[in-house]
Amino acid sequence: GCDASVLLNDTATFTGEQGANPNVASIRGFNVVDNIKAQLEAACKQTVSCADILAVAARDSVVALGGPSWRVLLGRRDSTTASLTLANSDLPAPFFDVVNLTASFAAKGLSQTDMVALSGAHTIGQAQCQNFRDRLYNETNIDTGFATALKANCPQPTGSGDSNLAPLDTTTPTTFDNAYYRNLLSNKGLLHSDQ
C-alpha cells in the first residue's frame, strides 16, 4: 500500500486490497485521505499523489503522538491497480514465527534489523481478538496477568468477540515510544509475530 494501492476501490478489472484478510475491519481512515486529497486538488490540481499524502500523514501522525520527525521526500506516484491476491500473500501474518517473518521481509529486500525496526510501528494501533486469541490460550511465553486481563475482552470460543480490539502496546497505546519493545522483554507482546 505504500504506492496508495490500498486506497483503490474494487473495479470491474481488479479486486482491491481493502478486502484482503489482513485489512478487513482493520485499516480505516480512507475518508481522511480523501478529504486531504480534495483540499490539495482544489489548491494545486494533479500535483500531490495519494502516496505522498500517506507518507506525510504517517510522519505527522508519529510527531503528533510524541515521536520523532523526519524529512519526507516527495514525488511518489500512485498505483493504478491493486491486488487482493498480493495483499493476502505479501503481508506478514500475525501468527508468523521468526523464520516466516524473516523470509517475508527478506523477500522485500529487508533485513532482520529492518524487520525489528519496522515492527516498532506496533507501538501504535490495535489488533482484533481473532489475531491474538491463540496466543492468549495456547502459548506459554506470555505474561500470565497480561493474558488474563486480555481474556475478558477476547473469549476463547472462535467467533465470539473476534473483532474486539486490544492495543498492540498496552503500556502507552497512544504514544509513539519504545514501550512496545519493553513489553516484548516482559512477554507482553499481543501478537505471536511480535513476541
Largest pairwise CA distance in the chain: 55
**22 is known to lie in a ligand binding site:** no
**139 is known to lie in a ligand binding site:** no
**113 is known to lie in a ligand binding site:** no
For the chain, give the number of residues: 195
**123 is known to lie in a ligand binding site:** yes
Grid look-up 500470565 returns 144
Check: CB of residue 109 under 8 Å from CB of residue 42: no
**13 is known to lie in a ligand binding site:** no
Grid look-up 501504535 returns 124
DSSP secondary structure code for residue 64 in this structure:
H
Question: Cell triple for residue 180?
Answer: 512496545
DSSP secondary structure code for residue 126 in this structure:
E
Q: How far is CA 35 from CA 30, 38, 45, 50, 79, in A?
A: 9, 5, 14, 11, 19
Check: CB of residue 78 under 8 Å from CB of residue 50: yes
**3 is known to lie in a ligand binding site:** yes
**122 is known to lie in a ligand binding site:** yes
**169 is known to lie in a ligand binding site:** yes
Feature table: binding site for heme b: 122
Summarize the annotated binding site for substrate as residue ranges.
92
Per the annotation, binding residues are 1, 3, 5, 17, 92, 122-123, 169, 172, 177
Annotated binding site for Ca(2+): 1, 3, 5, 17, 123, 169, 172, 177
